[in-house]
Structure 1
Amino acid sequence: MDHEEGTELEKINKSDENGDVKNNYCDVDPRLPFRRQALVSMGSFMLSFSAGATGGISAIIIPQLLKDNHGRHNHYNMNMLSWVAAMSSLALLFGNMISGYLMERFGRRTSQIILSMFYISGWVIIGFAKNMFFMLLGRFITGFCQGWLGPLGPVFIGEISSPAYRGLFLAGLSLSIASGVFMSHLFGTFLHWSHASFLCALFPLSGCIVLYFAPESPSWLASKNEIEKCRTAFYWYRGRTPVMQNELDKMLVEHEKKKEVKPKLETLKENIKKPEFWKPLSIMIVFFIVTQLSGINVICAYTTNIMEVLIGNNKNTYAAMLATDVLRVVALISACILLRRIGRRPLAVFSGIFTTLSLITLAIYLYLVDKRIIRHISPTISLGLMAVYIVVSNLGISPLPWNMVGEVFATETKGLGSGISVMMTSIAFFGTVKTAPAMFDTIGHHGTYLFYGLSTLCGTIFLYFFLPETKGKTLLQIAEHFRNGNKSKEKSLKEDNNFV
Structure 2
Amino acid sequence: MRPLDKELCETEPGDRYYNYRKDFKTALPQIIAVSVKNLLILGYGMTLGFPTILIPAVSQPQDGEILHLNNTEVSWIGSINLIVVPLGCALSGVVTSPLGRRRAMQAVNLPFIIAWLLFYYSKTPVYLYAALFLTGLAGGLLEAPVLTYVAEITQPHLRGSLSATSSMCVILGVFTQFLFGTLMNWRTVALVNISFTIVAVIALFFIPESPHWLISRNRDDEARKSLQWLRGWTTEDEVDTELRDIQALFWIEEMVSHKYKWTANLSNYRERKFYIPFCLVSYSFFVGHFSGMTTLQTYAVSIFQALDAPLDKYRATLILGAVQIAGAACCVLLVRIVGKRTLTLVSTAGAGLCCLLLAAYDVYIKMYSRPHVSVSSNGVYIKMNSSLTETTNIGHSWMPTTLLMMLAFITHTGIRLLPWILIGEVFSAQTRSGASGLASAMGYIFGFITNKAYINMVDKLSIWGTYGFYGLICLTGCIVFALILPETEGKNLIDIENHFAGIKKLDNKVYRSERRKTIPESKMNDIGGMQNQSYEPDTTSL
TM-score (norm. length: structure 1): 0.81
SS at match of 1:396: coil
2:317 matched residue in structure 1: 321
> What CA deviation, in whole Å up to 9, does each residue of 1:264-292 have, x standing for no partner?
53243144245554443332222222221
- Pair 1:380-2:380 in alignment: no
Spell out the pairing of 1:416-455 with structure 2 (5 A cutoff): 416-455=434-473
2:343 to 347, 354, 360: 347
Quickly say closer, same or farther: Cα 1:34–1:470, change in 2 above 3 A.
farther
Equivalent position amino acid for 2:445 in 1? I
Give 1:382-421 correspondences, 5 Å limit: 382-410=400-428, 413-421=431-439
Tell me which amino acid in the other structure corresponds to 2:419. P
> What is the distance in 1 between the residues matched to 2:165 and 2:117?
26
Give the match for residue 4 of structure 1. none
Q: Take 1:149 and 1:49, find their aligned partners in 2: how far apart are those partners?
A: 12
Q: How does 1:273-288 map to 2 (within 5 A)?
A: 273=270, 277-288=274-285
166-175 vs 370-379, greater mean Cα deviation: 370-379
CA distance in structure 2 between the partners assigned to 1:230 and 1:407 by the alignment? 28
Per the alignment, residue 177 of structure 2 pairs with 184
Q: Distance in 2 between matches of 1:132 and 1:262?
A: 46
Flag the 1:340–1:34 CA change in 2: closer, same or farther, 3 A: farther
Q: 1-side partners of 2:251 and 2:502: how far apart?
A: 21
Task: Name the structure 2 match of 1:115.
Answer: 108
Report the Cα distance in structure 2 between the residues aligned to 1:307 and 1:87, rounded to whole angstroms: 23
Which protein has the larger Cα radius of gyration, Structure 1 or Structure 2? 2
- Corresponding residue number in structure 1 for 2:299: 302
Q: What does 1:469-484 align with in structure 2 at a 5 Å threshold?
A: 469-472=487-490
Equivalent of 2:329, from 329, 333, 345?
A: 333
Give 1:442 shift. 0.9
Show the counterpart of 1:29.
Answer: 22
Cα distance, 1:300 vs structure 2: 1.2
Counterpart of 2:433, as a letter, is: G
Distance apart, 1:120 and its partner CA: 2.1
Tell me if structure 2 keeps the 8 A contact 1:100–1:418. no
**Does structure 2 conserve the Cα–Cα contact (< 8 Å) formed by 1:481 and 1:488?**
yes
Between 398-407 and 116-125, report the one with greater CA deviation.
398-407
- 1:411 and 1:217, CA in 2 relative to 1: closer, same or farther beyond 3 A? farther
| Residue of structure 2 in register with 1:205 after alignment | 198
Bigger mean CA offset, 137-146 vs 340-349? 340-349
- SS across alignment from 1:397: coil
Give, as a single letter, the amino acid of the residue that structure 2 aligns with 1:205: I
2:363 corresponds to which residue?
Answer: 367
Please report how far the alpha carbon of residue 217 of structure 1 lies from its aligned counterpart in structure 2 after TM superposition. 4.4
The count of residues paired between Structure 1 and Structure 2 equals 475
Cα distance, 1:180 vs structure 2: 1.0
Mapped contact 2:90–2:437 kept (Cα < 8 A)? yes
Which whole-Å deviations, capped at 9, do the CAs of 1:50-72 have from their partners, x for residues lacking one? 22221221121122223444279
2:135 aligned with 1:136, yes or no? no
Which residue pairs with 2:257 in the alignment? 261
Alpha-carbon contact 2:67-2:125 (below 8 Å) kept: no
Identity level (%): 27
Structure-2 separation of matches of 1:217 and 1:451 = 46
Counterpart Cα distance in 2 of 1:332 and 1:431 = 24
Deviation at 1:174, TM superposition (A): 1.7
Aligned-pair CA distance for 1:104: 5.3
Question: What CA distance in whole angstroms lies between the structure 2 residues aligned with 1:471 and 1:123?
Answer: 40
Kept in 1: contact 2:117–2:190 (CA 8 A): yes
Letter in 1 for 2:308: I
Select 1:464's aligned residue among 482, 485, 499: 482
Q: Which amino acid counterpart does residue 340 of structure 2 have in structure 1?
A: R
Task: Verify: 1:57 aligned to 2:39, yes or no.
Answer: no
Which of 77, 80, 84 aligns to 1:87? It is 80
Equivalent position amino acid for 1:435 in 2: A
- Give me the whole-angstrom Cα distance separating, in 2, the residues matched to 1:346 and 1:389: 17
SS of 2:79 mapped into structure 1? helix
Q: Which stretch has the larger CA shift, 84-93 or 477-486?
A: 477-486
Aligned 8 A contact 1:275 1:483 in 2:
yes
Residues 45/380 of structure 1: CA separation in 2 closer, same or farther (3 Å cut): same
Contact 2:292 2:355 in 1 (8 A): no
RMSD value, Cα? 4.0
Alpha-carbon distance between aligned partners in 2 of 1:111 and 1:72, rounded to the nearest angstrom: 37
* CA distance, structure 1, for counterparts of residue 249 and residue 495 of structure 2: 12
Equivalent residue, structure 2, for 1:170: 163
Provide closer, same or farther for how the CA distance between residues 450 and 422 of structure 1 changes in structure 2, counting only shifts above 3 A. Answer: same
- 2 CA distance for matches of 1:486 and 1:247? 33
Letter matched to residue 468 of structure 2: L
Between the aligned partners of 2:424 and 2:21, the Cα distance in structure 1 is: 30
Secondary structure at the aligned position of 1:452 is classed as: helix
Q: Equivalents in 1 of 2:102, 2:496: separation in Å?
A: 23
2: distance between equivalents of 1:194 and 1:184? 12
Is the 1:155–1:406 contact (alpha carbons within 8 Å) kept by the matching residues of 2? no
* Conservation of the 8 A alpha-carbon contact between 1:99 and 1:415: no
Matches within 5 A, 1:13-24: none
**Change in 2 beyond 3 A, CA 1:196/1:449:** same
**What SS does structure 2 have at the residue aligned with 1:450?**
helix
Taking a change above 3 Å as real, the CA distance of residues 363 and 459 of structure 1, as seen in their structure-2 partners, is same
Counterpart Cα distance in 2 of 1:182 and 1:79:
26
Distance 1:227 1:65 in 2: 54
Q: Which runs of 5+ in 1 are unaligned?
A: 1-15
Q: Deviations over 1:329-354 (max 9, x none)?
A: 12222222223433333322222221
Aligned to 2:388: none
1:10: which partner in 2? none
Q: Is the 8 A contact 1:33 1:236 kept in 2?
A: no
In structure 1, C-alpha distance between the alignment counterparts of 2:397 and 2:329, rounded to whole Å: 26
1:78 CA drift (Å): 2.6
1:290 equivalent in alignment to 2:287: yes
Is 1:171–1:335's contact at 8 Å kept on the other side of the alignment?
Answer: no
Write the distance in 2 (CA, Å) between the matches of 1:407 and 1:211: 28
Which deviates the most, 452-461 or 371-380?
A: 371-380
After superposition, the Cα gap between the structure-2 partners of 1:92 and 1:31, relative to the gap in structure 1 and judged at 3 Å, is same
Name the stretch that deviates more: 346-355 or 148-157. Answer: 148-157
Cα distance, 1:102 vs structure 2: 4.1
Pair 251,466 (structure 1): closer, same or farther in 2 beyond 3 Å: farther
| Residues 101 and 210, structure 2, Cα contact 8 Å, conserved in 1 | yes
Change (3 A) 1:75 1:191: closer
Query: Contact between 1:103 and 1:415, CA under 8 Å: does it hold in 2?
Result: no
Q: Is the 8 A contact 1:164 1:472 kept in 2?
A: no
Q: Hey, what's the Cα distance between the residues in 1 that align with 2:177 and 2:412?
A: 18
